[in-house]
Amino acid sequence: MNIKKILLLILLLTAAEFSSAQVTVVADPAIDLLVKKHVKANSEGRGFPGFRVQIFSDSGNGARERANEKRSSFVSKYPDVPAYLDFNNPNFIVRVGDFRTKLEARKFLNSINVEFPYAFVRKDMIQPPPIE
């Protein structure tokens, strides 16, 4: 029994000794710069490079309404595919999908080509796919 008490006392003393210890980290200032750049890039929420299918682009009077109609039409037919309305002066643009490869985007384009004959694949910043 006394040996257990002595071992417990030694354990408590060494734990108290370690809990009051301080650690000093010496790092290259470039690491802090890289971390700040990483945080800034992730906070902008731009996504990462990929591909989307552009199904509509128009400018002028009523272009926003026509773009919204085209987007709504697409979403009603393909509710599982994200659709994005963007304004790139002077055009309102509707792009759909978040494809990592051009091949994935072309495959989807071929499946909607009858309904959207003027659609085409283009590079874009896409949203990351949901984590399953």
Predicted confidence (pLDDT) per residue in 76-115, tens digit: 999 999 999 999 899 999 999 999 999 999 999 999 999 9
Asked if 81 contacts 97 with a C-beta cutoff of 8 angstroms, the reply is yes
Q: 97 in the Ramachandran plot: left (φ > 0), alpha (ψ -120 to 50) or beta? A: left
What is the torsion angle, in degrees rounded to the nearest 10, for the CA atoms of residue 72, residue 77, residue 83 and residue 88?
Answer: -50
Q: Is residue 115, in this structure, part of any structural domain at all?
A: yes
Entry pTM: 0.65
Q: Is residue 5, in this structure, part of any structural domain at all?
A: no
Q: Is residue 54, in this structure, part of any structural domain at all?
A: yes
Number of domains, the chain: 1
Domain with 92 in it: what CATH number?
3.30.70.1070
Q: Is residue 11, in this structure, part of any structural domain at all?
A: no
Residue-number span of the structural domain to which 117 is assigned: 48-126
Q: Is residue 4, in this structure, part of any structural domain at all?
A: no
pLDDT in tens, 25-77: 787 888 888 888 877 766 666 678 999 999 999 998 999 999 999 999 999 99
Q: Is residue 43, in this structure, part of any structural domain at all?
A: no
Q: Is residue 121, in this structure, part of any structural domain at all?
A: yes
Q: Is residue 105, in this structure, part of any structural domain at all?
A: yes
